[in-house]
């Protein structure tokens, strides 16, 4: 802040100095702000009478700052608030999301609101003509998507192409042809661009949200299942139809240059007409034209994707293409190598050696790999997670290479790297490596490459689980406070990991807090988590204060089960939870509630555990209430538990009971030992 203020001050000062004569610049120079221009030989000195040992400061005529420089300086002073939800979610307190599901719907709602407004404005531009902003704000004004040129001309065609009106452009082209006008090569090419890019379909409205969410996951699934055609259809939206408008117009074009061929090939590959693409490439060569680097990239993809060939053959075909590139003096670019590596992932084990060679080639000819390159390598070398034996160590090389570097986006897959690197860390169980990856993520602006929401969650879940597994509990808890909820909302598995870490480190007193948090993050109805919490709390005896806290927590969890009753038709009370809650109540001295829990066992037709019954007996003994003790025996009898006899014996030994009660007990035990059942016991009652 101070620095900014100083700079602004300086700037103001400069303006003043300008109106003064050169002489006056001297005094201005003796300002303590020397750090902006410490003595370097390159600074030319101004000759003047008042150069007195102290370095002369030359005030610039005008210091022009970028329009966002001030804001950037200010923004850099703001750190993440670890206690709050991310800034993007800050809204009406009621609306602030507390779970990953909510955060997603929050963002979607916000975005769709914007889109709806934009849609209304754009579809009724005439109502939104009033321009109240001064200076004018173009992005708030309606956009015109309707073509303005009505007549049939090449200009009209160009306009329609620019507006990405696929069908209208094709119609206009046909009309022009019918009228006998020849369309210039340039315009036809851009029409082909349009048709090939969108596969002869109208482009979907540009209101994207964070990219199509599961494209990559889908693709990977497709690779695994070898159901490429089906899923690819899903992913790429539309496939290349033979004899579509692009092919028709391409055939109609009187003259074609390499651009026409290239765009056709790229379009075919994009929309998965691989064989046609490769054929068209031969045609291009026959016409003595040259393909550009993007086309070669597409061809490499086509070669790798084409079915029914062995990996070796495919690889040889790719090499052949690369040799042709070199022969035609086409310079490969980053995408060339990334495409190769991406495709080599499909070859699994076979792909490893070629991938390394490709990587070295790329380094050797001075093409700096992008994050996506490393991502592909990692994916290739760590394809089978369960292969823990002899797994590759290439990740260490990669991290050594990358540590401390800053990245800018160069490949659409650049945002996949951190996710896959963290996956490998978690699978190698290497915490140091995970810290290294995390350090890289926090270098410069690299955090921007973490990708959309689901990838961020994946990354942090893996990272935090690894921390739970390997790190000291205090450090883990520090990370817990730091990351949740300001960076991500934990999944229930993450919390279970944390609970296990707490168990290992014998820090169970934190559990009630964790339960509170998990309620906050939307895991109230997650049975696994609740059972885990209850199990950990009930397993051992603890000091009284802790038992009280645990009992409160247990009561809270119990209430979630009960409220669930209202929500769902079939309430599911796991026996373990019932046991644990009852035990916790007993230990905290909340006998009344514990007895109520016993009632629940009957209601839900669950069987209380031996341990629990023994504890009940202990508590009955502690309060020296023979009636309770007998009740327990009765209950055990009702469930025809083998422990019944033991309990009866204990009652006999430890309690002063009346003759009647003794008889009742005798009845119970004999009946149960006869394994005669409930009808009699109910009579007894």
Q: What would the x/- binding string for other proteins be over residues 344 to 363, using CB under 8 A?
A: ------------xxxxxx-x
Rounded Cα gap, residues 403 and 399, in angstroms: 6
Which range in 300-308, 326-334, 489-497, 601-609 contacts other proteins by CB under 8 A?
A: 326-334
84 in contact with other proteins (CB under 8 A): no
Q: Could you tell me which stretch among 177-185, 319-327, 585-593, 643-651 binds other proteins (CB under 8 A)?
A: 319-327
**HEC-encoded secondary structure of 547-572:** HHHHHHHHHHHHHHHHHHHHHCCCCC
Helix locations, 124-257, DSSP H: 154-162, 166-178, 185-197, 215-225, 228-236, 245-252
Sole window of 401-409, 561-569, 632-640, 645-653 interacting with other proteins (rule: CB under 8 A): 401-409
Other Cβ atoms less than 10 A from the Cβ of 182: the count is 12
Q: List the interface residues with other proteins, window 201-240 (CB under 8 A).
A: 206, 208, 210-211
Provide the CA 138 distance to its chain's centre, in angstroms: 33
| Cβ-Cβ contacts under 8 Å for 442 (sequence gap 6 or more) | none
User: Which of 215-223, 392-400, 563-571, 635-643 is the region at the interface with other proteins (rule: CB under 8 A)?
Assistant: 392-400
CB of 85 to other proteins, least distance (A): 11
Residue 295 in contact with residue 269, Cβ under 8 Å? no
Site for other proteins in 559-618 (CB under 8 A): none
Residue 324, CA distances (Å) to 259, 366, 459 in order: 18, 20, 40
163 scored as a contact of other proteins (CB under 8 A): yes
Within positions 491 to 510, which residues make up the interface with other proteins, using CB under 8 A? none
Distance in Å, CB of 49 to other proteins, minimum:
14
Instruction: Confirm or reject binding of residue 51 to other proteins (CB under 8 A).
Output: no
Tell which positions 270-309 bind other proteins, by CB under 8 A: 294
What are the DSSP E strand ranges found in 475-616?
Answer: none
Among 300, 450, 553, 647, binds other proteins (CB under 8 A): 450
CB-wise, 40 or 83, nearer to other proteins? 40
CA distances from 92 to 88, 97, 106, 608 (A): 12, 10, 12, 46
When asked if residue 331 is in the footprint of other proteins (CB under 8 A), the reply is yes
User: Can you give the length of the chain in residues?
Assistant: 685
Among 448, 539, 596, 602, the residue binding other proteins under the rule CB under 8 A is: 448
Verify binding: residue 685, other proteins, rule CB under 8 A.
no
Determine which residue in the list 62, 130, 243, 308 makes contact with other proteins, applying CB under 8 A: 62
Residue 92, interface with other proteins (CB under 8 A)?
A: no
Specify whether the CB–CB gap between 449 and 415 falls below 8 A: yes
21 lies in the binding site for other proteins (CB under 8 A)? yes
112 within 8 A of 136, measured Cβ to Cβ: no
Stretch that binds other proteins, among 213-221, 446-454, 457-465, 638-646 (CB under 8 A): 446-454
Binding part of the chain for other proteins, among 159-167, 248-256, 586-594, 630-638 by CB under 8 A, reads 159-167
User: C-beta of 48: minimal distance to other proteins in Å?
Assistant: 10
Tell me which residue of 198, 231, 402, 254 sits closest to 305, measured CA to CA: 231
Q: Does 16 bind other proteins (CB under 8 A)?
A: no
Nearest to 573 by CA among 619, 533, 525: 525
């Amino acid at each position: 802040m101070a620095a900014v203020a100083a700079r602004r001050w300086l700037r103001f000062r400069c303006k003043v100095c300008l109106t003064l004569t050169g002489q006056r610049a001297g005094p201005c120079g003796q300002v303590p702000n020397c750090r902006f221009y410490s003595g370097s030989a390159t600074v030319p000195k101004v000759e003047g009478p008042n150069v007195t040992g102290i370095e002369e400061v030359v005030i610039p005529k005008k210091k022009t700052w970028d329009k966002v420089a001030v804001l950037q300086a200010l923004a850099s002073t703001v750190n993440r608030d670890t206690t709050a939800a991310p800034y993007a979610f800050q809204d009406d307190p009621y609306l602030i999301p507390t779970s990953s599901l909510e955060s997603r719907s929050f963002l979607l709602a916000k975005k769709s609101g914007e889109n709806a407004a934009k849609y209304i404005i754009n579809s009724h531009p005439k109502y939104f003509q009033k321009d109240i902003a001064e200076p004018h704000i173009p992005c708030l004004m309606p956009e015109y998507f309707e073509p303005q040129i009505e007549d049939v001309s090449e200009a009209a065609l160009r306009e329609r192409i620019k507006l990405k009106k696929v069908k209208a452009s094709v119609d206009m082209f046909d009309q022009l042809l019918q009228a006998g006008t020849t369309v210039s090569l340039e315009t036809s090419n851009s029409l082909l661009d349009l048709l090939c890019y969108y596969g002869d379909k109208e482009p979907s409205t540009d209101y994207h949200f964070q990219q199509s969410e599961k494209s990559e996951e889908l693709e990977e699934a497709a690779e695994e299942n070898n159901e490429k055609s089906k899923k690819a259809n899903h992913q790429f939206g539309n496939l290349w139809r033979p004899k579509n408008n692009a092919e028709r117009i391409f055939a109609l074009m009187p003259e074609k240059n390499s651009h026409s061929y290239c765009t056709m090939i790229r379009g075919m590959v994009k929309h998965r007409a691989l064989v046609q693409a490769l054929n068209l490439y031969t045609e291009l060569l026959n016409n003595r034209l040259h393909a550009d680097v993007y086309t070669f990239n597409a061809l490499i993809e086509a070669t790798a994707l084409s079915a029914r060939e062995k990996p070796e053959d495919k690889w040889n075909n790719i090499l052949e293409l690369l040799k042709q590139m070199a022969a035609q003096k086409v310079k490969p670019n980053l995408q060339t190598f990334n495409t190769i590596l991406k495709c080599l992932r499909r070859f699994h084990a076979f792909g490893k050696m070629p991938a390394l060679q490709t990587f070295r080639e790329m380094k050797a000819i001075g093409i700096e790999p992008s994050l996506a390159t490393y991502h592909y390598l990692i994916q290739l070398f760590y394809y089978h997670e369960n292969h823990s034996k002899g797994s590759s160590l290439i990740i260490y090389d990669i991290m050594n290479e990358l540590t401390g570097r800053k990245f800018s986006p160069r490949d659409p897959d650049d945002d996949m790297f951190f996710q896959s690197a963290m996956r490998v860390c978690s699978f190698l169980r290497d915490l140091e490596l995970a810290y290294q990856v995390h350090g890289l993520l926090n270098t410069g602006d690299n955090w921007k490459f973490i990708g959309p929401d689901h990838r961020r969650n994946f990354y942090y879940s893996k990272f935090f689980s690894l921390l739970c597994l390997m790190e000291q509990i205090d450090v883990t808890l520090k990370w817990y406070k730091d990351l949740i909820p300001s960076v991500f909302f934990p999944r229930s598995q993450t919390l279970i990991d944390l609970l296990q870490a707490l168990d290992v480190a014998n820090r169970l007193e934190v559990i009630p807090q964790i339960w509170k948090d998990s309620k906050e993050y939307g895991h109230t109805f997650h049975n696994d988590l609740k059972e885990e919490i209850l199990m950990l709390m009930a397993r051992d005896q603890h000091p009284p204060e802790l038992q009280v806290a645990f009992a409160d927590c247990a009561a809270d969890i119990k209430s979630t089960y009960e409220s669930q009753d209202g929500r769902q038709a079939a309430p599911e009370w796991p026996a373990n939870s019932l046991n644990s809650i009852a035990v916790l109540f007993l230990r905290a001295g909340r006998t009344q509630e514990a007895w109520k829990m016993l009632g629940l066992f009957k209601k839900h037709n669950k069987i209380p555990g031996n341990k629990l019954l023994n504890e009940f007996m202990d508590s009955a003994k502690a309060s020296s209430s023979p009636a309770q003790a007998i009740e327990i025996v009765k209950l055990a009898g009702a469930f025809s538990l083998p422990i019944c006899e033991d309990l009866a014996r204990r009652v006999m030994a430890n309690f002063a009971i009346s003759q009647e009660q003794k008889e009742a007990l005798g009845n119970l035990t004999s009946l149960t030992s006869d394994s005669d059942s409930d009808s009699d016991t109910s009579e007894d009652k």
